[in-house]
Amino acid sequence: MLPRLTPIDPPYEEGVAAALAGAMPPGVPLLLLRTIAHNPRVLEMIRASHLLDRGSLARRHRAIVILRTTVRCTCEYEWRVRASLCAARAELRQTEMAAIAYGGASDPAWSQPERTLIRLVDELHDTARISDALWTELRRHWSDAQLVELVVVVGFYHTISFVVNGLGVELEPPAASVSRDRVFEAKLEVTGT
């Protein structure tokens, strides 16, 4: 798909420049945020949400949730950005990255708490709900504040996936070098779509 909007280039308007500086890693002019910057109000809302920071979740758990959400939404852009920038910091091995893309909650790569994260993403994606059985399991591993954050992170990355896919945001140059490893072909197998 061709981009539907061209990301804005510098010089940025003053408010846009501040919002971009607060939302992007130094020296990384993300095409997604520069595309969203066509609407400075929305850009500021995303930046102000602080959902781009680490929050109360362990880096590894947050990465699993984000990566699984982007795979389920077939958002290659965000998958590659996260795989190139975050997977190593979150200590996700290749087998775990493959399990995020190809496997399910029963994959042997996951600990019991991590299985509940995969189930959480899948249930929210498939039904927009969390079953009582899964909720009971989630409460064994995470605090109430973390449970709220987990659900919001899944929703936030659904939104990001919709923006990327809907606006046709091109792949980032550094992220384009991340091996595709059939991730998005496999997504069709994982979800049955």
Could you give the domains of the chain? 14-48 (no CATH), 59-167+174-191 (1.20.1290.10)
pLDDT at 20: 86
Q: What is the pTM of this model?
A: 0.86
Q: What is the reported pLDDT for 183?
A: 52
pLDDT at position 53, please?
A: 65
Give the per-residue pLDDT at 105: 95
For the chain (length 193 residues), average pLDDT per consecutive 10? Answer: 88 87 72 93 82 80 95 93 84 92 94 98 98 98 96 95 95 62 45 37
173 preceded by cis ω (within 30°)?
Answer: no
pLDDT at 48: 76
**Total Cβ atoms within 10 A of residue 179:** 10
Side-chain-side CA neighbours of 23 within 13 Å: the count stands at 25
